[in-house]
Structure 1
Amino acid sequence: MTEPTEKPEPEGLPKAPALSGDETAKPVAGPLPQPVKVSWYLWIAASAVMVLGFALSLVMKQQIIDLTLELPRDQRLTAEQIAGGITTVLWTFLVGAVVFAALFLLFAWKAKDGTRSARTVLTVLAAVTVVFQVLFFANEAKLLACALIVAATVCLYLPSVQSYFPKLPKR
């Protein structure tokens, strides 16, 4: 019997991807720094408060409708059309808040593992979310969520955690 020989990688092709059980699949980032752990808990809190803020907007639907009807508008729009549109928008925002909360938690979990790209995605999501929450039907819960989101993002960029998110070498 002959021993199996390892086939060399053909030239010009990238290396085969590492298997999930392979120890070399992901570089170990080291022990979890305290700011990253704090950021994880802040993302959890921000997600819950954000969804609560959009649910609160839905509860305050009639007040939002009344305020909107007081604004100058196109006379071709009836009060019922405006009320229906606002109701649809508020439900859409609530579903969007749940989706963003899930994305926050997913990428915050990956950031806990030291994934640099997860930190970048969280930063972009944070910027979009803060602008969106401040512009559309802001309330106290949404403003608190914005503060938590900013704090969670800042924790991921503190100088003490820079080595936890190493830059990947260029190919």
Structure 2
Amino acid sequence: MTSPKESGTPRTITVGYWLVLVGAALCVVAGVFQFAARQALVDAIKSRNTDPALTTEMIESSATVTLGAVMVVTAVVAALMVWFAGKVKAGTRKSRTGLMIAVLINLFFQMVGNGYALVPALIAMSGLVLFYFRQSSDFLTEREQLA
């Protein structure tokens, strides 16, 4: 019989995994919310528009395309974050680097494209930080040596 300390995945890995999942899901929800509220963006641009060549249709289509692109990128990066987090939870040490890159891209992209998703991006970042704690690193090193 093994002791509870020896069996299974460390708590830092499990909590980090769930934090990354929650952060990614909330980023997608924030992207949907921002896309749904695109009329407010269109109205703000219309009120500040001083260029007579910029028509209402151009403003509306530009806002829709831009927010659609933000939504697609958010969904793709969130899917990558979830995939890499799952690989780390399974014991693949190299996936931490991929997850770190995806989380940093997500954080940068949310700072630029979607202010609603800054807190969820930081939640995912805190999950990533847990993957670098000593318990997590020891677990991943041990799993790597077993493979």
- Above 0.5 in TM-score? yes
Structure with bigger gyration radius: 1
Q: Please give the TM-score of this superposition, normalised by the length of structure 2.
A: 0.83
Structure 2: stretches of 5+ with no match in the other structure: 1-6
Partner of 1:114: 91
Instruction: Give the drift of 1:75.
Output: 4.5
Q: Please give the TM-score of this superposition, normalised by the length of structure 1.
A: 0.72
In proportion to residue count, which structure has more helix? 2
Instruction: Give the drift of 1:148.
Output: 0.9
- Using the alignment, how far apart are the partners of 1:98 and 1:38 within structure 2? 22
Partner of 1:38: 15
Partner of 1:76: 53
Task: Tell me the C-alpha RMSD between the 2 structures.
Answer: 2.2
Aligned counterpart in structure 1 of residue 126 of structure 2, from 151, 155, 161: 151
Q: Does 1:89 align with 2:50?
A: no
> 1:102-150 deviations in whole A, cap 9, x for unaligned?
21111111001221221100101111111110122312xx122112111
Aligned counterpart in structure 2 of residue 103 of structure 1, from 77, 80, 97: 80
**1:62/1:155 CA distance change after superposition, 3 Å:** same
Equivalent residue letter for 1:150: M
Q: Does 1:126 align with 2:103?
A: yes
Kindly report structure 1 stretches of 4+ aligned residues shifted beyond 6 Å: none
**1:73/1:38 CA distance change after superposition, 3 Å:** farther
Structure 1: stretches of 5+ with no match in the other structure: 1-29
Instruction: Give the drift of 1:152.
Output: 0.8
Q: Does 1:136 align with 2:84?
A: no
- Using the alignment, how far apart are the partners of 2:54 and 2:104 within structure 1? 34
Q: Does 1:166 align with 2:141?
A: yes
Identity over aligned residues, as a percent?
25
Partner of 1:25: none
Equivalent residue letter for 1:136: G
